Structure 1
Amino acid sequence: MSFPISETAPVRFAAALPARADVVVVGGGVIGIMTAWFLRERGLSVVVCEKGRIAGEQSGRNWGWVRQQGRDPSELPIMVESLSIWKALAARMGDGLGFRQTGVLYLAKTEKEIEGFEASMENARAHQLDTRLLTSGETLAMLKGAVAPWKGALWTASDARAEPWVAVPALAAVAEEKGVLIREACAVRGLDLAGGKVAGVVTEAGRIACDHVVVAAGAWSRLFLGAQGIGIPQLSVLASVAATEPMPEIFPGNAADDDFAFRRRTDGGYSIAPGARHDFYIGRDAFRSIGVYLPVLKKDFRSTTFRLAAPAGFPDAWGTPRRWALDRPTPFERQRVLNPAPNMATLAEVQDSFAKAFPALGRPKLKSVWAGMIDSLPDVVPIVDHAPVAGLTIATGMSGHGFGIGPGMGRVIADLVTGRAVGHDLSRFRLSRFTDGSPIRPGPSL
């Protein structure tokens, strides 16, 4: 299988669509797959419809971090559970996930960053994490050959990493063995409603009757839900990543400062990326959401490269339709897999920063480069909630945190759908927070 997974990749999951299922999941990323996994364990019949390929978009393009460190306080309990599930999955599936508990290291160049790390320790202690603050000397001792002027670091040894574009399809294959029906290259065009309730979905391959629908469509969720009359202030940012050629190990885990981030790969190289920079395409949805995003812009304005227009066919491209008929092709079929071009100038800066921090290794040679579209919300935490349509649940806006938290969040969403106690406070993730006058509080961005 080539990487990144594209719409030209062979279809691996081609289940025949049933006339009826208990639940249809829209989206074949890690959230959709793990939600289906746990719904099936609850005894429900489940169909996952993915317009492109499983893990073809951000679930297969992210950094591969499985971290508790630096989480929003409301996400952290679910992430602690998720790490436990990851460990159980790795024990069951062997090395197929690329899962390693090699730790996460946040690197500080300024005293202000150290103060922020110190403030986050209260959250870590509340959940008995093994997180601790490192001195400058302790930090440099962990990173072979490092000469960067880091003043210290935040370190969580129990945090982990995995190989996203391998792990998510592998999880999908096990879900299929459990009885989940998965269909790639099958866009859900819209909901079929009866009396204000979900009665089914209309796909490009036909209708499926169902009682429940979970929208876990990542960067496409706003477009899909908007056509159903449900507005969410989700936007997408472009994140560029590269894989280096094999190189000596400087650190076995994941690390980041504001300039660059890196993690060890199972192929002997590193995935490297900008530590804080991202690109944002300005479109119609961006203009509509400017008010609610002002707190985020004030916090991260200098780390954002603004682009005037998204490529044709992208969710917030100027020419992308916001309404469509269900009996003809939709935007989801016209753009099967978002495959944006990476920002090569930014990646060149990452190479320079890496070489400056580790001069003995020099400038890393790149084996491959790619980019993905991160589905973000103004407060950098997701929407996980029932929609104002009976039978519809929204699980989107993971804001770059979805891969690691995916297994735990899948369990939570499955129980939310079935009416079981989820075991966590989901009030921070409610849909109504954007309309009930609540202040928008941006959470951690790493």
Structure 2
Amino acid sequence: MPGPQLTPVVSDSQLPDRADVVVIGGGIVGASTALELAERGLSVLLCEKGVIGGEQSSRNWGWVRLSMRDPREIPLMIEALKIWEGLDARTGRATGYRRAGILFTADSAKSYDEHARWAENLTPYQIEARMISGADLGALLPGHRMDLKGALHTPLDGRAEPQWAAPAVAAAARDAGATVMTGCAVRTLDVAAGRVAGVVTELGRVACDAVVLAGGAWSRLFAGNAGISLPQLKVLNTVMRTSPVEGGPEASVWADRFALRKRADGGYTVASGTENTVDLVPDSFRLARAFLPALVHEWSSLKFRLSSRWGEEARQPRRWGPGDVTPFETCRILDPAPSARALRQCWADAQRAFPILQGAEMLQSWGGMIDVTPDAIPVISGVDDLPGLHVATGFSGHGFGIGPGAGRLMADIVTGAAPVVDPKEFRLSRFSDGSKIHLDKGF
């Protein structure tokens, strides 16, 4: 099956000779960064090798969530929620955003206590997140057949349509004065006197003062060619969508074996609640030491396999020049096949939990590559070793909801404005300055 059907964003016809900032990558984070910068009066070029939102930004679950995040992300996610509330009006386009709440279910005393402890992370922010059970839970999960101790309910959480959001933001960036080029890969950085002076795209050179690398799963490859070490791996997540269903839950639901979100078309997006597929590739071994804590922490949710991706990535060039055809041109859209096993499992479990889904049809499925870091929080940072280069990547499956906030923070860093939140936790140098790298689920 083809990937998700996106709102098209037509490319501008002419590459500018110069821009204040070049943003590499037309996902939700890159588009949000471009919009923020353009609204501040900077000349911006947004370059996307394929189509706007063509990879993980359109392939995710569509959750806009504060709940169960790493506590280090909470301040930025609060800012992102504020942005989402006004995003349709700001862009003049539909993103599908709606505040409908999210429920993280607990089927044991242990998970109930863990969810309750996580909720304490929101107490300093005076944001409601509470454990519910009994009739309150039944009202939010009509017709469910799960054996639950309860659930963490965060009413402030919401949902949006991934196939609409990044295109809406990118089009708004163009409205604000940005140039948006699709089918235009950035090949290399142009460096002069030890700092960024421009980029070389497949269509020509563009002079600039700053570059933002928001390339998602491709960021490590691009950074490496520029001599920048960026520890990042890819994880496959499988998603499906159903035909419309009457009477299902409005709130999004996470359970151990499935997750679901109501869609604007009345159907549901369904995925595994915990399982992710990890293809063994050469980088798996190059980065084994950096990712060891994450591997130990998340072992039960990772399904390792040796697939054709080993050969694909082993053959992929790791160094190239401005005149070379790059991996970004030979693969315009990373479109991995979904896991048939994950589809069978999550769909069967969702139907058992909500019998009302048994009359629904699976209309489409797809895979998406999540860009992950060793501590499962993003890099939103300047690069100390190369002034003018900035990185916004490694969102580890949390990027869609936090994307507008990440774009605002990245724009603050690029322009030298007071940052919307303290960016210290997201600095790239944490992987090289001796800092202890750890995962923090907040309980």
- What is the TM-score when the length of structure 2 is the normalising length? 0.95
Please tell me whether the aligned partners of residues 255 and 263 of structure 1 are also in contact (alpha carbons under 8 angstroms): yes
Find the aligned partners of 1:313 and 1:36 in 2 and give their Cα distance.
35
Find the aligned partners of 1:191 and 1:33 in 2 and give their Cα distance.
20
RMSD of aligned Cα (Å):
1.8
Please tell me whether the aligned partners of residues 390 and 414 of structure 2 are also in contact (alpha carbons under 8 angstroms): yes
Deviations 1:273-328 (A, max 9, x none): 000101111111110111121111112212211121453896xx111110112102
Find the aligned partners of 1:102 and 1:233 in 2 and give their Cα distance.
35
Q: 1:330 to 1:153 in 2, by over 3 A?
A: same
Q: 1:125 to 1:145 in 2, by over 3 A?
A: same
Please tell me whether the aligned partners of residues 61 and 372 of structure 1 are also in contact (alpha carbons under 8 angstroms): yes
| C-alpha deviation, 1:414, in angstroms | 0.3
Deviations 1:127-182 (A, max 9, x none): 11121111254323321111111111111112110101112111211111111100
Query: Identity of aligned pairs, percent?
Result: 47
Find the aligned partners of 1:10 and 1:83 in 2 and give their Cα distance.
25
The residue that corresponds to 2:403 in the other structure is: 406
Find the aligned partners of 1:4 and 1:85 in 2 and give their Cα distance.
25
- 3-state DSSP class of the match of 1:272? strand
Find the aligned partners of 1:237 and 1:199 in 2 and give their Cα distance.
33
Please tell me whether the aligned partners of residues 312 and 320 of structure 1 are also in contact (alpha carbons under 8 angstroms): no
1:176 pairs, out of 157, 174, 177, with 174
Q: Show structure 1 runs of 5+ residues with no match.
A: none
User: Match of 2:41, as an amino acid?
Assistant: G
The residue that corresponds to 1:385 in the other structure is: 381
The residue that corresponds to 2:350 in the other structure is: 354
- 3-state DSSP class of the match of 2:98? coil
Poorly superposed stretches of 4+, deviation over 6 Å: none
Structure 2 residue 71 is matched with structure 1 residue 73 = yes
The residue that corresponds to 2:40 in the other structure is: 42
| C-alpha deviation, 1:90, in angstroms | 2.5
Find the aligned partners of 1:3 and 1:338 in 2 and give their Cα distance.
10
Q: 1:42 to 1:405 in 2, by over 3 A?
A: same
Q: 1:141 to 1:360 in 2, by over 3 A?
A: same
| C-alpha deviation, 1:258, in angstroms | 1.5
Find the aligned partners of 1:168 and 1:313 in 2 and give their Cα distance.
31
Structure 2 residue 201 is matched with structure 1 residue 165 = no
- 3-state DSSP class of the match of 1:403? helix
| C-alpha deviation, 1:243, in angstroms | 0.2
Please tell me whether the aligned partners of residues 99 and 160 of structure 1 are also in contact (alpha carbons under 8 angstroms): yes
The residue that corresponds to 2:113 in the other structure is: 115
Find the aligned partners of 1:360 and 1:244 in 2 and give their Cα distance.
12
Please tell me whether the aligned partners of residues 9 and 52 of structure 2 are also in contact (alpha carbons under 8 angstroms): no
Find the aligned partners of 1:159 and 1:313 in 2 and give their Cα distance.
41
| C-alpha deviation, 1:423, in angstroms | 3.2
1:239 pairs, out of 220, 232, 237, with 237
Find the aligned partners of 2:433 and 2:150 in 1 and give their Cα distance.
41
| C-alpha deviation, 1:437, in angstroms | 2.3
Please tell me whether the aligned partners of residues 282 and 310 of structure 2 are also in contact (alpha carbons under 8 angstroms): no
User: Match of 1:69, as an amino acid?
Assistant: S
The residue that corresponds to 1:366 in the other structure is: 362
Deviations 1:309-368 (A, max 9, x none): 453896xx1111101121021100000000000001111111110122123542742010
Please tell me whether the aligned partners of residues 236 and 374 of structure 1 are also in contact (alpha carbons under 8 angstroms): yes
Structure 2 residue 349 is matched with structure 1 residue 336 = no
Matches within 5 A, 1:121-140: 121-140=119-138
User: Match of 1:375, as an amino acid?
Assistant: D
Find the aligned partners of 1:10 and 1:81 in 2 and give their Cα distance.
28
Find the aligned partners of 2:308 and 2:102 in 1 and give their Cα distance.
33
The residue that corresponds to 1:153 in the other structure is: 151
Deviations 1:44-99 (A, max 9, x none): 10000100000000011111111111122221111111111111113445771111
The residue that corresponds to 2:431 in the other structure is: 434
User: Match of 2:364, as an amino acid?
Assistant: S
- What is the TM-score when the length of structure 1 is the normalising length? 0.95
The residue that corresponds to 1:53 in the other structure is: 51
- Pick which of 216-225 and 303-312 moved more: 303-312
The residue that corresponds to 1:4 in the other structure is: 4
